[in-house]
Amino acid sequence: MRTTSLALGLLWTAAASAWAPSASFGRRHHRPSASTSMSASSGDSIEFAKYEGLGNDFILIDDRSRADPSLTPEQSERLCNRNFCIGADGVIFALAPPEGDDAYDFTMRIYNSDGSEPEMCGNGIRCLAQFLKDLGEDTESYRINTLAGPIVPVMNADGTVTVDMGEPILKGADVPTTLEPNAESDSVVEQTLECNGKEWKVSAVSMGNPHAIIFVDDLEADIDFASDGPALEADPAFPAKTNVEFVQVMSPTHLKMKVWERGAGPTLACGTGTCALVVAAIRAGKIPRPEAEGVEGRVRVTLPGGDLFIEWRESNNRVYMSGPATLSFSGKAMIK
């Protein structure tokens, strides 16, 4: 195992397969204590593990004995800098469940690479589940408390993770968006929005965080990604800002997308966005809703980092996401 020290205070172990949890790991429940309530200070070091889900990469911090993250948003933002530190799309904290609440095994919090805090992250929660398994919390599923509500990732025999993402939120005001509702349940389906000097047809869906979905004929020719993405993210029609998904329909069971993530910009994958766009595609009549359930009912979504498989189950209205989560490396970083 090779260890390298960088001038900026980052220590990392390049051999991911050599990483192993310490002897203290493996407890099913971890309750916070008052002695762990303070955040790390400049000059302190913190152990981390780096995971990625289809190239959407995260720094994972073991805070299972804490109620709150051990890093501030500003510290997390610095760790995410790809030139001066570890580099990532966000920092995820594996925290104790809410005090006295036996409905959860753990809590997930995440800070984006710009220091903002989203409600949830689909790729991130798959990485969190794999992280917990690697820490010795080896079980079939985890009950995770998130700012978007309870989420349950399930570990599959093939090494992938399936996540019950819950029911989509369709009411426009709850996404939230100020776009005029034009479909059932006061929802927004391909509503007109003028932004960045162009007219768009926008569908609004929340998976605990807001998404603006736009269908195009050609992902390469029909958008100026670097310009349209940030403009739509910050458009006043989305008062909490929004994730933006541009989608091309490849077949009735295959969609292709590019994502501009709120607070992170262009990423290789977005789990909640993938779920939202499948719901939007079905509601807009772009693809039929599969009649089967399970593997046969999945829609394949191709992202820049690879494929995710999404099922919007008609029997319970819940969305299920399946995809990989992989350890890249682990190490120790100095807080600056």
Q: Which of 80, 85, 121, 127 is catalytic?
A: 121
DSSP conformation class of 116: -
Q: Which residues contact 120 (CB under 8 A, 6 or more apart)?
A: 108, 110, 146, 147, 148, 151, 207, 208, 209, 272
Pair of tokens at residue 276: 């939202």
Q: Contact at 8 Å (CB) between 191 and 202?
A: yes
Pair of tokens at residue 114: 């710009």
Residue 270 designated active-site: yes
Angle subtended at Cα 181 by Cα 179 and Cα 182, rounded to the nearest 5 degrees: 120
Residue 121 designated active-site: yes
Report the C-alpha gap between 306 and 295 in whole angstroms: 18
Residue recorded with tokens 């191709």:
302
Pair of tokens at residue 267: 């990423």
Q: How many CB atoms lie within 10 A of CB 7?
A: 6
Backbone phi, psi, residue 146, to 5°: -130, 170
DSSP conformation class of 18: G
Burial zone of 160 (CB within 10 Å; 0-12 exposed, 13-18 middle, 19+ buried): middle
Q: Which of 80, 85, 270, 275 is catalytic?
A: 270
Q: Which residues contact 105 (CB under 8 A, 6 or more apart)?
A: 28, 29, 97, 137, 142, 143, 144
Annotated catalytic residues are 121, 270
